[in-house]
Amino acid sequence: MTQASSISGRCACGAVHYEADAPPGMALQCHCRDCQRATGTGHASMAMFPRASFRLHGELNYHSVTTDLGHSARRGFCPRCGSPVVAEPGAVPHLIAVHAASLDDPSLFAPVAVLYAKRAPDWDRTDAALPKFETMMPPPPGAL
């Protein structure tokens, strides 16, 4: 994800919006079944931000899941339009992830890796040049 001094985004109807004053720790595409179900397609494109830099305005409905690695995760959706907005990975509680499509400027999203590549449907292709991990990847030093 490219650097910006302030990043903002919103759900489809605008009832929920957010800002982040820090650049994301990383941007990823994930093909795990939870991400597929949450987005209704083959993967989720997510940018991770330090929670301390993130401000959410409006109310979200949350759905909790247990990940393949046994961690809890919460996904926040707009209660009015149903747009997926955030994910809160329990394994890294100091981070919050936003869906790339919710960014006011989605062109800022530049993924650095593909997670759960083994679960990618044949019809959902991601950038072949990106590193691909069969499941989760270890975070790069200093990225989170």
pLDDT digits (tens, 9 = 90+) for 64-104: 988 777 888 899 999 999 999 999 988 888 999 999 999 99
Which residues span the domain enclosing 51? 7-27+45-112
> Which parts of the chain are beta strand (E)?
7-10, 17-20, 26-30, 44-50, 54-57, 61-66, 72-77, 84-89, 95-99, 113-115
- Tally Cβ neighbours within 10 Å of residue 86: 22
Q: What is the CATH number of the domain that holds 78?
A: 2.170.150.70
Q: Is residue 57 part of a domain?
A: yes
Nearest residue to 140 (alpha-carbon basis) of 25, 3, 20, 8: 25
**pLDDT confidence band for 22 (50 / 70 / 90):** confident
Number of domains in the chain: 1
| pTM score | 0.86
Q: Is residue 108 part of a domain?
A: yes
Our CA angle for 69, 73, 76, nearest 5°, is 155
